[in-house]
Structure 1
């Protein structure tokens, strides 16, 4: 904001009535015609002292505020703990894993954070283009699901990803896009929530937005977005979290923005140039 100058400081004359004298308001530190110069200087000194003290107090407060997070004191730790409790979806800053299995993050910790990280990364894998080709789909399923669940799931999934289904998406029978077009399928987690957690089992929901469609001139299925919540039942199996069951529901979905849709070439280029992430709690 801008403060307006109302001309109240210096330079403004005030004429007394009936005295024949003119009283002039001068800047602080200079005497006027009534001989009040000493009082003005004293007033200036006291005001300067108050100003200096005020600046020092503010400076000390600013330094204390800036150093609050680095002291590691008892009161700071307590405040941080309270903030963490009040913001359950805040990131911890802890890396989720160091390894990968078939290109998918693996080796998650047997904690609530580990379960949330596993669910987020498994949602990304299960929502990727790999799911539209038989060989890569089986690799994803084996890496994400518990062995018993994976064995039961492959057959029904192969039927679901039928030639007719792939054709509706513009893909050939092996899941490949036509020449000159780019098929896009991505899951982007927005947040995770622990529904249940007890020892070696966990139920975690992943709120995500997704991209799916065919980018390219003449595409009958342009890339679009959706919003869903994917809930995973996880089991601690073989030293890692594995999916034993999962379900999805629509939303929560925000109001659509006013950003105009990009052209086919720009969208295809973005998919090729922008890689994905390993997601952590």
Structure 2
């Protein structure tokens, strides 16, 4: 499935509450889930956390953070502050801040990136999530594609400066550090992986034509395939995007990134390099909308 194909959540028709009386949106039933207990673990059936991280995981975190620095607008202000005089703090509504609203996902596209977001708090969150996906993608390591992503996601006022900064950040030495060739291409027989997956969003400030949105994400970065010396690793981070309403859509004015929140590592057995490469080629991304 490619990005933009995902039209809603679950099996219901987006755009309204479902008719199913057992639905958490349309009905009144609730489900109580009993979590497994025990004398050991953290109360959720998980084993205690290990005491140390592997060198590979640490390297993966550093690589992703360095990539984030490349697309962070250096001229931005504080991550939790929004512009305008009509600023207000967002208040969670309903069951929780990440609960689906039932509103239809955005229909438009700017290239492969969703566009045409609603001019409200929900639209700002959806825009921030989709832009985080684009800015954390493998396409960012290709200059032509990167320039297009920046144009599609950012305020035109900052694009030219940002493109120049990115050109310096994605240097041959940086590309070599993540296992790519000097021109950003992937070595033969390998699959380069760089994906950002939003876990949740939160509006920390909202004005009429501006908003500050935090996107909590997990990410994959590394090289999959036989002979890879930089295996794909998972990371956790939060991107703060300061958005501005420009040309009938939300655009990024500036962004910053911080590590975490990071959950306890599970004990899942790592897949082979070929399995990871096959998963990356076989599973597409989503259009994210509240």
Of 179, 189, 201 in structure 2, the residue corresponding to residue 180 of structure 1 is 189
1:72-113 Cα deviation digits (max 9, x unpaired): 9xxxxxxxxxx9434222111222311100210000000100
**Distance in 2 separating the partners of 1:237 and 1:68:** 36
RMSD: 1.9
Aligned residue runs from structure 1 range 43-58, under 5 A? none
For 2:164, the equivalent position in structure 1 comes to: 155
For 2:105, the equivalent position in structure 1 comes to: 96
Aligned residue runs from structure 1 range 211-230, under 5 A? 211-230=220-239
- The alignment covers a number of residue pairs equal to 207
TM-superposed CA distance for 1:151, in Å, is 1.4
Unaligned runs of 5+ in 2: 1-20, 29-91
**Distance in 2 separating the partners of 1:118 and 1:215:** 30
Larger Rg belongs to:
1
**Distance in 1 separating the partners of 2:133 and 2:113:** 9
TM-superposed CA distance for 1:175, in Å, is 1.1
Question: What secondary structure does 1:85 align onto?
Answer: coil
Aligned residue runs from structure 1 range 11-26, under 5 A? none
**Distance in 2 separating the partners of 1:94 and 1:88:** 15
For 1:208, the equivalent position in structure 2 comes to: 217
Scaled by the length of structure 2, what TM-score is found? 0.68
Of 252, 259, 262 in structure 1, the residue corresponding to residue 268 of structure 2 is 259
**Distance in 1 separating the partners of 2:113 and 2:94:** 30
Q: 1:213 to 1:70 in 2, by over 3 A?
A: closer
Higher helix share: 1
Unaligned runs of 5+ in 1: 1-64, 73-82
**Distance in 1 separating the partners of 2:23 and 2:224:** 50
**Distance in 1 separating the partners of 2:98 and 2:23:** 25
TM-superposed CA distance for 1:170, in Å, is 1.1
8 Å CA contact 1:96–1:114 kept in 2: the answer is no
**Distance in 2 separating the partners of 1:256 and 1:134:** 34
Q: 1:69 to 1:248 in 2, by over 3 A?
A: closer
Residue 212 (structure 2) pairs with residue 199 (structure 1): no
Q: 1:196 to 1:69 in 2, by over 3 A?
A: closer
For 1:52, the equivalent position in structure 2 comes to: none
Q: Which runs of 4+ in 1 moved over 3 A?
A: 65-72, 83-86
**Distance in 2 separating the partners of 1:67 and 1:247:** 38
TM-superposed CA distance for 1:209, in Å, is 0.1
1:2-61 Cα deviation digits (max 9, x unpaired): xxxxxxxxxxxxxxxxxxxxxxxxxxxxxxxxxxxxxxxxxxxxxxxxxxxxxxxxxxxx
For 2:254, the equivalent position in structure 1 comes to: 245
